[in-house]
């Protein structure tokens, strides 16, 4: 970005911009080279103005949420990283005439685990599966995040996307989700940001919901125990199998390249033992893909997104 562009961008938002900022501190893997700028947007007006400016000046951008399902390359990103802040981090329960239902309206930058916790307090059932998922709501919708047999697609009622041209609303019937993917978002990639989501949940008993959350948390601790920075499941599960199991039977757990290691607890967790580069993780990824293909005939596809 040239100085004129930097000045223009800074004039569009209220929070200070971080220029040439390393992204490792913004990702759960603690890996990532520098971006030209990291920009926090507080509200819809700012977001639309920023998207318009970036589109006009053809500057690449990415929203990274809480950076939990992400591998940022060592070269970094020649463009702008957007973080949703302010009103995008707010959520509230809405009133509804239906006694069985509860609606929660939330900004795309909200923590999914935090919404799940509040739903538990409000006695709203349906989001228990997300109590240990560390990402943002917007990211969870785009990748149809899931766990324990449930996924976002079962509770998302509608989604608002902000583009340079304004906000568009998509209702449940238009969304088209599949395993770990909101298919409908493909047409908007690089053009739109999830600004708001309405979740439809069921009224339930807070104690039952709390107990279920705690069972799931315990299960997660047992199966995914991980003391090192990681990005959750690195590969998607192939149909009717588990990437973790396939990596395990290939004898790869514990394999280390540089600072990156395949977790000794769970084959589908690639961890940063300290000082790992994105290159280390990518090399490990290629070794896993080749060995699993050779041993089991399965092509593992990454679940993590790359910048
Ligand atoms: N397994 C092994 N060895 C391993 C790891 C797993 O044999 O090293 C076996 C387990 O014993 C089990 C099976 O593989 O029989 C499945 O493992 P697990 O229950 O740990 O679930 P997963 O399929 O690896 C998926 C999601 C997780 C989600 C859990 C719980 C994907 C790619 N992963 O994991 O999601 O938390 O189920 O529902 O769908 C994520 O997406 O980041 C994530 C963590």
Q: Supply the mean pLDDT for the chain.
A: 96
Identify the CA nearest to 67 among candidates 25, 11, 18, 115: 25
Pocket test for ligand 1, best of 116, 129, 233, 305 (most atoms within 8 A of CB): 233
Pocket of ligand 1 from Cβ distances under 6 Å: 147-148, 223, 232-233, 236-237, 242-245, 248, 253, 266-268, 303
Four-residue CA torsion sign, 248, 250, 254, 257: negative
Residue 93 designated active-site: no
Pocket test for ligand 1, best of 147, 222, 229 (most atoms within 8 A of CB): 147
Residue 222 has pLDDT above 90, yes or no: no
Identify the CA nearest to 103 among candidates 2, 240, 202, 226: 202
Report the interhelical angle of 44-56 vs 3-12 (nearest 10°): 160
Residue 167 has pLDDT above 90, yes or no: yes
pLDDT tens readout for residues 258-300: 999 999 999 999 999 999 999 999 999 999 999 999 999 999 9
Beta bridge partners of 195: none
Q: Give buried/exposed letters for 265-292 (b at 16+ CB in 10 A, else e).
A: bbbbbbbbeeebbbebbbebbeebbebb
Q: Which atom of ligand 1 is nearest to the CA of 263?
A: 8
Tell me which residue has its CA closest to atom 11 in ligand 1: 245
Pocket test for ligand 1, best of 242, 250, 254, 303 (most atoms within 8 A of CB): 242
Q: 190 CA to middle of ligand 1, Å?
A: 30
Cβ pair 227, 264 in contact under 8 A = no
pLDDT tens readout for residues 41-100: 999 999 999 999 999 999 999 999 999 999 999 999 999 999 999 999 999 999 888 889
- The two three-digit tokens of residue 286, written as one number: 């290629």
Tell me which residue has its CA closest to atom 37 in ligand 1: 147
What element of type H or E holds 126?
A: none
As a whole number of angstroms, the distance between CA 155 and CA 30 comes to 31
Residue 225 has pLDDT above 80, yes or no: no
Cα torsion at 47, 53, 58, 63 (round to 10°)?
A: -10
Q: 132 CA to middle of ligand 1, Å?
A: 14
- How confident is the model at residue 98, as a pLDDT? 87
For residue 116, how many C-alpha atoms fall within 13 Å in the half-sphere facing its CB? 27
Beta-carbon neighbour count of residue 2 at 10 Å? 8
- How confident is the model at residue 97, as a pLDDT? 85
Cβ pair 158, 170 in contact under 8 A = yes
Candidate list 180, 195, 263, 277, residue with the active-site label? 180
Cβ pair 269, 233 in contact under 8 A = yes
Q: 236 CA to middle of ligand 1, Å?
A: 10
- How confident is the model at residue 95, as a pLDDT? 84
Q: Which atom of ligand 1 is nearest to the CA of 132?
A: 36
- The two three-digit tokens of residue 295, written as one number: 């041993």
Q: 2 CA to middle of ligand 1, Å?
A: 46
pLDDT tens readout for residues 92-133: 999 888 889 999 999 999 999 999 999 999 999 999 999 989
Q: 71 CA to middle of ligand 1, Å?
A: 20
Residue 178 designated active-site: no
Distance of CA 135 to the CA centre of its chain: 5
Tell me which residue has its CA closest to atom 3 in ligand 1: 245
As a whole number of angstroms, the distance between CA 37 and CA 205 comes to 46
Residue 180 designated active-site: yes
Cβ pair 46, 13 in contact under 8 A = yes
Contacts of 230 (CB under 8 A, 6+ apart): 28, 29, 263, 269, 270, 271, 272
Total residues belonging to the chain = 307
Q: What percent of the chain has pLDDT over 70?
A: 100
As a whole number of angstroms, the distance between CA 68 and CA 124 comes to 25
């Amino acid at each position: 970005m040239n100085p004129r562009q930097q000045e223009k961008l800074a004039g569009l938002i209220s929070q200070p911009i971080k220029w040439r900022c390393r992204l490792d501190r913004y990702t759960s893997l603690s890996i990532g080279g520098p971006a030209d700028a990291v920009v926090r947007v507080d509200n819809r007006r700012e977001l639309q103005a920023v998207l318009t400016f970036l589109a006009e000046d053809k500057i690449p951008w990415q929203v990274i949420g809480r950076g939990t399902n992400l591998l940022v390359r060592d070269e970094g990103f020649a463009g702008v990283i957007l973080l949703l802040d302010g009103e995008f981090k707010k959520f509230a329960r809405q009133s509804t005439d239906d006694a069985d239902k509860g609606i929660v309206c939330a900004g795309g930058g909200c923590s999914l685990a935090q919404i799940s916790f509040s739903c538990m307090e409000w006695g709203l059932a349906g989001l228990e599966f997300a109590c240990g998922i560390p990402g943002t709501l917007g990211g969870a919708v785009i990748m149809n995040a899931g766990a324990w047999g449930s996924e976002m697609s079962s509770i998302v009622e509608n989604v608002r996307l902000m583009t340079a041209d304004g906000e568009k609303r998509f209702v449940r019937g238009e969304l088209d989700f599949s395993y770990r993917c909101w298919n409908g978002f493909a047409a908007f990639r690089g053009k739109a940001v999830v600004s708001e989501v309405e979740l439809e949940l069921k009224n339930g008993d807070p104690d039952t919901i709390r107990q279920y959350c705690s069972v799931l948390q315990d299960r997660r601790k047992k199966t995914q125990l991980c003391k090192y920075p990681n990005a959750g499941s690195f590969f998607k599960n192939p149909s009717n199998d588990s990437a973790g199991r396939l990596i395990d039977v290939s004898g790869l757990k514990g394999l280390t390249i540089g600072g990156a290691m395949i977790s000794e607890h769970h084959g589908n967790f690639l961890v940063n033992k300290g000082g790992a580069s994105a290159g280390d993780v990518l090399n490990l990824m290629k070794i896993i893909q080749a060995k699993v293909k050779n041993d089991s005939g399965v092509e593992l596809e990454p679940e993590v997104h790359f910048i």
